[in-house]
Amino acid sequence: MSFRAVIFDLDGTLVDSAGEIAHALNRVLAAHDRPPFARGEVEALIGKGVRVLVERALRIARITDASLDDAVRDFERHYAEEVGTEARLYPGVRDGLLALEIAGIPMAVVTNKPRLFTEQLLQRLGILTFFRALVAGDDGIPRKPAGDMLLAAAREMGADIDSVLMLGDSENDVLAARDAGCVVWCVPYGYNEGRPPASLDADRIVPGVQEAAHLLLEPRRQVASRS
What are the angstrom distances between the C-alpha of 26 and each of 41, 112, 128?
11, 21, 28
Query: What's the confidence (pLDDT) of residue 6?
Result: 98
User: What's the DSSP call for residue 188?
Assistant: S
Helix (H) or strand (E) holding 130: none
Contact indicator for 92, 208 with CB cutoff of 8 Å: yes
Residue numbers annotated as active site? 9
**CATH number assigned to the domain with residue range 5-16+87-226, chosen from the 4 options 3.40.50.1000, 3.40.50.300, 3.60.10.10, 3.40.50.720:** 3.40.50.1000
Reported in sequence order, the residue ranges of 137-180 that DSSP labels E, i.e. its strands, are: 164-168
Which candidate, 114, 161, 164, places its Cα nearest to that of 135? Answer: 114
Contact indicator for 110, 11 with CB cutoff of 8 Å: no
| Measured distance CA(206)–CA(223) in Å, rounded | 23
Which candidate, 209, 154, 191, places its Cα nearest to that of 176? Answer: 154
Query: What's the confidence (pLDDT) of residue 183?
Result: 98
| Measured distance CA(54)–CA(76) in Å, rounded | 10
Which candidate, 67, 84, 80, 91, places its Cα nearest to that of 13? Answer: 91
What are the residue ranges spanned by the domains of the chain?
5-16+87-226, 18-82
Query: What's the confidence (pLDDT) of residue 225?
Result: 57
| Helices H / strands E in the chain, number of each | 9, 8
H helix intervals, 62-147 = 68-82, 93-102, 115-124
For the chain, 227 residues long, give each residue's pLDDT as a single digit of tens: 689 999 999 999 999 999 999 999 999 999 999 999 999 999 999 988 899 999 999 999 999 998 999 999 999 999 999 999 999 999 999 999 999 999 999 999 999 999 999 999 999 999 999 999 999 999 999 999 999 999 999 999 999 999 999 999 999 999 999 999 999 999 999 998 878 877 899 999 999 999 999 999 986 666 555 55
Query: What's the confidence (pLDDT) of residue 222?
Result: 61
Query: What's the confidence (pLDDT) of residue 198?
Result: 79
Give the domain 18-82 fold: DNA polymerase; domain 1 (1.10.150)
